């Protein structure tokens, strides 16, 4: 049943079917699909450079059917801007669309364009705080469905940078996310970003973990997470990130690592990441024999799939002047 061919609103348009592949009997069947018909109307309006309200209807229809078609999004944005359309209404519509199409990333790029335009166009008029709060709320709603969606996290970071949200409210948000799932590596990454991003990327003050108080707070935060989930690589990586960035000695973490893995109780290891860290501590202490024993435990018992990696690490001990058996 053709949707557009019988619609008087579209009677002036000669649809442009795709010319892909040239004459092909099978292709003819596909043109009976709604989607192909709708696309042929889009091609026609694009060829005529038409920007009108009905183009918004047409692109909405197409996006509902196939949100991954980047050309449709671009033409929709162009049309919205040309018509000076109500961009808040566009955001409302995007909420529904994003919830219906979780995996799509064009939606987020489009949203980005709209919010940016809204702030630029109505500068001084628009309630920026109200806008970012609503955006943050919507993002959190998205995370209820998929808390690791890469595109949504990208958008969240964009909001933080665009509106300067480097404060405690955003930190609390990462805590809410991690309270739901301590293994959410995306949330850990976001925490690092909120704590250090200003110093690393904006260059306008803030020391991140290089501030001793912040460092103590973040080390404690990661350690508490390890206590709840010892075999969770995210907080261990976070700790190592702090060590690396601040030049803090690994020795400070020895006692902590030994709570989860120790050479004295090789049968009671609760975390392969603790073993890994312990091996490095021993290297720092120039105890190559102990380091080798820890690496053996990893290669043979606690992470055998990466046996070659652990053996390589053990091989490096030889350089330190110790006997690598």
Per the listing, tokens 């696309």 go with 39
Using rule CB under 8 A, residue 85 touches other proteins: no
Q: What sign results for the dihedral spanned by CA atoms 218, 202, 186, 159?
A: positive
Binding mask 150-189 for other proteins (x = CB under 8 A): x--xx--x-------------------------xxxx--x
Q: How far is the CB of 222 from other proteins (least distance, A)?
A: 12
Which of these ranges, 14-22, 219-227, 251-259, 289-297, lies near other proteins under the rule CB under 8 A?
A: 14-22
For residues 302 and 134, give the distance between their C-alpha atoms in angstroms, rounded to a whole number: 46
103 is a catalytic site residue = yes
For residues 272 and 236, give the distance between their C-alpha atoms in angstroms, rounded to a whole number: 10
- 27 or 134: CB nearest other proteins: 27
Using rule CB under 8 A, residue 21 touches other proteins: yes
Q: How many residues bind other proteins (CB under 8 A)?
A: 57
Q: How far is the CB of 189 from other proteins (least distance, A)?
A: 4
Residues between 129 and 148 with contacts to other proteins, criterion CB under 8 A:
148
Tokens of 150: 């890469």
Q: How far is the CB of 264 from other proteins (least distance, A)?
A: 26
Using rule CB under 8 A, residue 109 touches other proteins: yes
Tell me which residues touch other proteins (CB under 8 A): 16, 18-21, 24, 26-27, 29-30, 33, 35-36, 39, 43, 65-66, 68-71, 74, 77, 109, 113, 148, 150, 153-154, 157, 183-186, 189-190, 192-193, 196-197, 200-201, 233-234, 237-238, 240-242, 244-245, 305-309, 312
The residues assigned a catalytic role are 103
């Amino acid at each position: 049943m053709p949707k557009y061919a019988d619609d008087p609103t579209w009677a002036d348009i000669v649809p442009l079917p795709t010319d892909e592949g040239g004459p092909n009997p099978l292709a003819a069947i596909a043109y009976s699909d709604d989607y192909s018909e709708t696309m042929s109307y889009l091609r026609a309006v694009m060829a005529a450079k038409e920007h009108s309200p009905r183009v918004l209807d047409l692109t909405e229809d197409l996006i509902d059917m196939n949100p991954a078609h980047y050309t449709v999004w671009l033409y929709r944005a162009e049309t919205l801007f040309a018509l000076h359309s109500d961009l808040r209404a566009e955001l409302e519509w995007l909420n529904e669309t994003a919830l219906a199409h979780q995996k799509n990333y064009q939606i987020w790029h489009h949203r980005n364009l709209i919010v940016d335009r809204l702030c630029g166009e109505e500068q001084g008029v628009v309630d920026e705080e109200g806008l970012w709060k609503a955006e943050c709320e919507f993002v959190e709603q998205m995370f209820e469905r998929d808390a690791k969606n890469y595109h949504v996290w990208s958008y969240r970071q964009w909001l933080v940078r665009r509106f300067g949200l480097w404060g405690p409210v955003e930190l609390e948000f990462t805590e809410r996310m991690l309270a739901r799932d301590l293994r959410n590596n995306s949330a850990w990454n976001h925490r690092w970003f909120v704590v250090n991003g200003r110093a690393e990327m904006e260059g306008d003050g803030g020391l991140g973990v290089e501030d001793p108080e912040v460092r103590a707070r973040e080390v404690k935060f990661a350690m508490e997470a390890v206590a709840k989930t010892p075999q969770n690589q995210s907080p261990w990586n976070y700790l190592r990130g702090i060590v690396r960035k601040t030049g803090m000695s690994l020795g400070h973490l020895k006692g902590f690592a030994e709570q989860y893995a120790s050479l004295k109780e090789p049968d009671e290891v609760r975390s392969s990441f603790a073993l890994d860290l312990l091996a490095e501590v021993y290297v720092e202490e120039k105890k190559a024999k102990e380091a080798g024993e820890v690496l053996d435990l990893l290669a043979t018992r606690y992470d055998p799939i990466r046996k070659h990696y652990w053996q390589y690490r053990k091989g490096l001990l030889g350089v330190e002047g110790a006997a690598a058996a």
